[in-house]
Structure formats: C-alpha cells, structure tokens
Amino acid sequence: MKKTFPIAVQAVMIDLDGTLLDTIPDLAAAANLMLEALGHAPLPLDTVRNFVGKGIPRLVERALARDIDGHADAAAMAKALPLFERFYTEVNGRYTTVYPGVREGLEQFRAGGFPLACVTNKSGAFTLPLLERMGMAHFFAQTISGDTLARKKPDPMQLLHACAQFCVAPERMLMIGDSVNDALAARAAGCPVFCVPYGYNEGLEVQSLDVDAIVGALTECIPLIIKG
C-alpha cells in the first residue's frame, strides 16, 4: 500500500548506479574492452545501459550473449569476468558523472539529520573507490555492496541489514533507487520507496513500478518526508 505524505522517516538508503551516479560510460568502456579482448564487436552505449541492474556478473553474461535475457556458459564466463573486472578497475570513475541535484540532496538529508546508507548491487571492490573518487563517500555511514551479504537486491537482505545497523524499523527507513530491483527489495523489506526516472531500469518504464513516489531529483525528497 502506498504511503500518505509526508512519510515519517528516520534514515535513508540510496542506490548508487543510476540514482547517484551515471556510471554507464565506465561500464560500457569496460564491457567493450572485454569484448574486444575476446574478439567480439563492441556494444552501443544504450544497449549496455539496459544490461545494467543485476550486478557485474549478469552484465558480463548479457554482454557476451548480446541479449538482456541471454546466457553464457561457464567457460566463457570464467574467461570474460576477470577481463571485465580488470578493465573496470582501470576505468572506474573515469567517465562517471553525478546526476543533477544529487550533492544538494545529500546535503539536505544530512542537514535534516537523516543517516545515510548506500545500498548497491555493485561489487565492493568498485563501490568505495568510486564513491571516494567522486567525493561522496563521506556522506554515508554505511555502504552495503552486492557482495557484502549472501544476497542482493531484489532480495531484501541488504535493506534489512542497513535497518538493523541503524536500529531503524523498516517502515521508517526510506529506499531511493531507480529500478525494479530497488522497488521489489523495498516492498519485500517493508520500506517506503521512491524512484528517480533518469536511471537504469533494464529497459522498463519507471512509472510501471510499485513505488510511493517518483522524484525528478534527490532534492525533491525532503518535502515528502518528516523526521520521525
């Protein structure tokens, strides 16, 4: 059931790729360097954009199959995944940009006394280096990556872990994301959820998601919540 506004919130979780940062140029560069090394043709940027959302191994598998629903055999993945990770380590943050309103929104959350957690499906080896390179790591009291726990979004485990670490009940912990993974994880955890329309949703319209609000920027969140 959707909430009525303003929503009482004690802390906030925010997705990374597609919500805080536009990382597609880095991911596409790494994917195409991997494909080139394997003797395959590169993929267009917009194709890679639709492949993002289920973590790096799934991105690599989709890139190998050149299909969002595609699969690759274990031998191909064993060869491709280390290549991608090597290239992505080299380019991580090089071409990434911060979405409009993100820094201002993070400052507003901090000024409002809302502790922040970054909850992402990105591997931990890439998450903190990227946040640090973009000058955003200091905003987050928690950073929960795709390999921090046994399961990741759309499973609710990461969100419930963040709630427990902040000692906040799920119904008082807001999730902000850009995709079906964020919406499903939040609903399963019992958290209110907002989505931005500019991110990566595996080719789906964000308007189709079960969320409490669609916000054009992080700066639009504060009027919709109260501390409590």
Please indicate, yes or no, if residue 82 is contained in any of the structural domains: yes
Which conformational region is residue 70 in: left (phi greater than 0), alpha (psi within -120 to 50 degrees), or beta? beta
Do 214 and 204 fall into the same domain?
A: yes
- Residues 102-143 have pLDDT tens digits of 999 999 999 999 999 999 999 999 999 999 999 999 999 999
Which of 72, 91, 110 terminates a domain? The answer is 91
At residue 200, the pLDDT reads: 87
Mean per-residue pLDDT over the chain, rounded? 95
Number of domains in the chain: 2
pLDDT of 155 higher than 90: yes
Q: Is residue 189 part of a domain?
A: yes
In a domain, 155, yes or no: yes
If asked whether residues 69 and 113 sit together in one domain, one would say no
Q: Catalytic: which of 15, 17, 182, 212?
A: 15
pLDDT at 2: 56
Domain match, 108 and 173 both:
yes
Q: Which CATH number do you get for residue 52?
A: 1.10.150.240
In a shared domain, residues 69 and 154: no
pLDDT at position 46 is 92
| 142, part of any domain | yes
- Domain hosting 203: range is 7-22+99-227
161 sits in the region (left: phi over 0; alpha: psi -120 to 50; else beta) called alpha
How many Å apart are CA 146 and CA 152, to the nearest integer? Answer: 5
Predicted confidence at residue 213, as pLDDT, reads 97
Report the CATH number at residue 123: 3.40.50.1000
Query: Which of 41, 59, 91 is the last residue in one of the domains?
Result: 91
**Contact (Cβ atoms closer than 8 angstroms) between residue 117 and residue 163:** no
Predicted TM-score of the model (pTM):
0.92
In a domain, 169, yes or no: yes
Query: Residues 26-32: what's their mean pLDDT?
Result: 97
Residue 1 lies in a domain: no
Going by their DSSP bridges, the two strands 97-98 and 21-22 should be labelled as antiparallel
Residues 49 and 83 reside in one and the same domain: yes
pLDDT value at residue 55: 81
Residue 81 and residue 30 in one domain? yes
- Residue 177 pLDDT greater than 60, yes or no: yes
C-alpha to C-alpha distance for 81 and 55, rounded to whole angstroms: 12
The more confident residue out of 95 and 1 is 95
Based on the domain organization, do 109 and 193 belong to the same domain? yes
Per-residue model confidence as pLDDT tens digits over 47-59: 999 998 788 899 9
3-state SS of the chain is CCCCCCEEECEEEECCECCCEECHHHHHHHHHHHHHHCCCCCCCHHHHHHHCCCCHHHHHHHHHHCCCCCCCCHHHHHHHHHHHHHHHHHHCCCCCEECCCHHHHHHHHHHCCCCEEEECCCCHHHHHHHHHHCCCHHHCCEEECCCCCCCCCCCCHHHHHHHHHHCCCHHHEEEEECCHHHHHHHHHHCCCEEECCCCCCCCCCHHHCCCCEECCCHHHCHHHEEEC
Domain assignment of residue 141, yes or no: yes
**What sign has the CA pseudo-torsion 144, 141, 135, 102?**
positive
One domain for residues 107 and 146? yes
Say whether both 47 and 132 belong to one domain: no
User: Of 91, 116, 145, at which residue does a domain stop?
Assistant: 91
Q: Of all residues in the chain, what percent carry a pLDDT higher than 70?
A: 99
Q: What is the mean pLDDT of residues 63-79?
A: 96
Considering the domain architecture, whether residues 219 and 185 belong to the same structural domain is answered as: yes
pLDDT beyond 90 at 13: yes
Same domain as 14, residue 119: yes
How far is 27 from 93, CA to CA, in rounded Å? 10
Domain assignment present for 2: no
Let me know whether 104 and 211 are in one domain: yes
Rg (CA), the chain: 17
Q: Using CA atoms, how far apart are residues 45 and 6, in angstroms rounded to an integer?
A: 38
Q: What is the pLDDT of residue 203?
A: 77
Say what the pLDDT of residue 54 is.
Answer: 82
| pLDDT interval class at 170 (50, 70, 90) | very high
Give the Cα separation of 3 and 137 in Å (integer).
30
Residue 178 a catalytic site member? no
pLDDT tens digits for range 187-209: 999 999 999 999 988 878 889 99
